[in-house]
Structure 1
Amino acid sequence: MTDRHKGAWFIVASAAGFATLGILIKSAFTGGANISTALAGRFLFAGLFLFGIVRARGIDCRLDKKVAFQLILMGAVGYGGMSGLYANAIHYLPASLTGMLLYTYPALVTVLALIVGEERFNSTKGIALVVCSVGLVLLLGASFEGAQLSGVLSALGAAVIYSCYIIIGNRILKNIDPMVTSLWVCTAAGLAFLCYGAAKGEIILELTPQGWLSILGIAVFPTLFGVMGFFAGLRLVGATNASIISMLEPLITVLLSAVLLGERITALQGFGGAVLLFGGLILQLWGHEARHETVTEV
């Protein structure tokens, strides 16, 4: 298996992990948590798990001061900001609409990568992006009717922040172990939410068992699997390819919702999922040469 294919599978695994986020956040809210509590618990628990894994494997997690500062900013401002806005959007919008708005970020990543010269854009990536976007709209079947402006702005803000986060990460993380990167990012995000929540008096410790189990689930699936898988794949396939492959996430979310929550999948959603998968197939079968050119230029 080539590095490109390994990277693609890492991103697919990451998308599967991230796909559980909306379901688990709603479960945590039902269990008595608020945004600050859920996200502080998510990232701090994930940081503890990662620290144990890093120590057990004997990986040195010390970094150069400049790189450490960059990762702290990526965690506290980048990933933390995106997560907070996403959780806020869920309060005001249907999950499907929130997902569609967040997944404007692959297009933003493609444009930003072209502007900063991080990667070369070609017709294959453009076709894959358009096909995946069409499939995403069909899959989610979201409607803007009755949407609250604060929720829409939160979701779009999350997409913008995440796009910048991916571009910056693709530039500075090439020679750093994904586990070390994830440890620094998650810990910084967790401490940021803990400090913010404590200052606002929003940290809630008296949660139901469902609340605590949901937060632990968020720490493991969309955080450990999601973040580590994304960082590992990002180094191998690049920002544009990673963001397009990640569009599999809403497809997996719909499937999980059908299995776990008993939600019905319509024929239109099924067709949209097939279109989305086809877009990813285009990228993997014919988009690798452009990535090779990018790697040789770095």
Structure 2
Amino acid sequence: MNNKHRGAWFIVASAAGFATLGILIKSAFAGGANISTVLAGRFLLAGLFLFGILRARGINCSLDRRTALQLILMGAVGYGGMSGLYANAIHYLPASLTGMLLYTYPALVTILALIVGDERFNAPKGIALVVCSVGLVLVLGASFEGAQLAGVLSVLGAAVIYSCYIIIGNRILKNIDPMVTSLWVCTAAGLAFFCYGAAKGELILDVSLRGWLSIVGIAVFPTLFGVMGFFAGLRLIGATNASIISMLEPLITVLLSVILLGERITPLQGFGGAVLLFGGLILQLWGHEARHETVTEV
């Protein structure tokens, strides 16, 4: 197997890891955990795993004060805020719908990049944004059983925050080892949720075995394996190819949701999701002249 094929399989494995996030969060909730407990456990465990891996590889994890502060803010406010809204959406929406709606972020990143001057408008981007808008209308216009406005607003808010996270990250993190960045971001997010949960009295230790196993699974599969698989593949096939293959994530989420959770989607819902992903694919193919993928995904 050559490097390109190996890289592609790494990205597929990464997408599969990320795709388990919504399902495992639902499982953790069913086991008695809440958002603060789930996300504090997720990020602190992932941070410990990443620290161990980096130390074993002899990589220096220290950063200058300014960069460290930037990463702490990105983790606690940016990635933490996005993760909190995503987890909140899981309370209200099927995992399949949540996964599809989160993938409005490529279009949002392009809009923000145009606004701040990181990119220039062209015809393919205009077409892609129209296609994404049509896909979003189709997805939201379809009737999802159990879908609630609070969940839709939460996941769209998560997509907006993640888009800002990408734009800011691409400006300040270009010369930092992505695994080191992930360590700082995960640790900052974990400590933020731990402190918030402790202050509000929301940390729950009386969680069932299913709940704890789900939290560990979240730290391992969508966080640790997802990040490591993505960067392993990224080095072999490049950012654009990795980003395109990563778009398998919402499709795998839908498949796992149907198999494991018994969720069902109608042909119209599936078509809307496909249209939304096609718009994202156009942006991945023509929307990268001034940016690269950032250090941590969902």
Under a length normalisation based on structure 2, what TM-score does the superposition of the two structures give?
Answer: 0.79
Residue in structure 2 matched with residue 31 of structure 1 by the alignment: 31
- Asked if 1:157 corresponds to 2:153, the answer is no
Change (3 A) 1:213 1:92: same
Change (3 A) 1:283 1:79: closer
Change (3 A) 1:119 1:244: farther
Q: Within 1, Cα distance between the matches of 2:201 and 2:109?
A: 36
- AA aligned to 1:294 is A
Alpha-carbon shift at residue 252 of structure 1 (Å)? 1.4
> Tell me, what secondary structure is at the counterpart of 2:290?
helix
Q: Within 2, Cα distance between the matches of 1:97 and 1:48?
A: 31
Residue in structure 1 matched with residue 255 of structure 2 by the alignment: 255
Write out per-residue CA displacement over residues 145-188 of structure 1, whole angstroms, 9 at most, x where no aligned residue: 87544333322321221110011111112111111010000000
Q: Within 2, Cα distance between the matches of 1:163 and 1:78?
A: 10
Residue in structure 2 matched with residue 75 of structure 1 by the alignment: 75
Q: Within 2, Cα distance between the matches of 1:188 and 1:46?
A: 11
Alpha-carbon shift at residue 92 of structure 1 (Å)? 2.6
Change (3 A) 1:93 1:259: closer
On the 8 A contact 2:106/2:280 being kept in 1, the answer is no
Alpha-carbon shift at residue 143 of structure 1 (Å)? 2.9
> Tell me, what secondary structure is at the counterpart of 2:206?
coil
Residue in structure 2 matched with residue 44 of structure 1 by the alignment: 44
The answer for unaligned runs of 5 or more in structure 1 is none
Residue in structure 2 matched with residue 203 of structure 1 by the alignment: 203
Alpha-carbon shift at residue 207 of structure 1 (Å)? 1.7
Write out per-residue CA displacement over residues 225-263 of structure 1, whole angstroms, 9 at most, x where no aligned residue: 3345567859x537xx98776543221111222343454
Under a length normalisation based on structure 1, what TM-score does the superposition of the two structures give?
Answer: 0.79
- AA aligned to 1:21 is L
Alpha-carbon shift at residue 89 of structure 1 (Å)? 1.9
Percent identical residues: 85
On the 8 A contact 1:178/1:228 being kept in 2, the answer is no
Higher mean C-alpha deviation, range 108-117 or range 40-49: 108-117
On the 8 A contact 1:100/1:142 being kept in 2, the answer is no
- AA aligned to 2:22 is G
Residue in structure 2 matched with residue 86 of structure 1 by the alignment: 86
Q: Within 2, Cα distance between the matches of 1:108 and 1:216?
A: 31
> Tell me, what secondary structure is at the counterpart of 2:87?
helix
Higher mean C-alpha deviation, range 16-25 or range 99-108: 99-108
Q: Within 2, Cα distance between the matches of 1:115 and 1:206?
A: 47
Q: Within 1, Cα distance between the matches of 2:211 and 2:88?
A: 18
On the 8 A contact 2:26/2:91 being kept in 1, the answer is no
Q: Within 2, Cα distance between the matches of 1:2 and 1:166?
A: 27
Q: Within 2, Cα distance between the matches of 1:173 and 1:245?
A: 23
Matched length: 286
Residue in structure 2 matched with residue 175 of structure 1 by the alignment: 175
Map 1:1-298 → 2, pairs under 5 A: 13-131=13-131, 142-143=142-143, 147-228=147-228, 233=234, 237=239, 247-263=247-263, 267-268=267-268, 282=282, 287=286, 291=288, 293-294=289-290
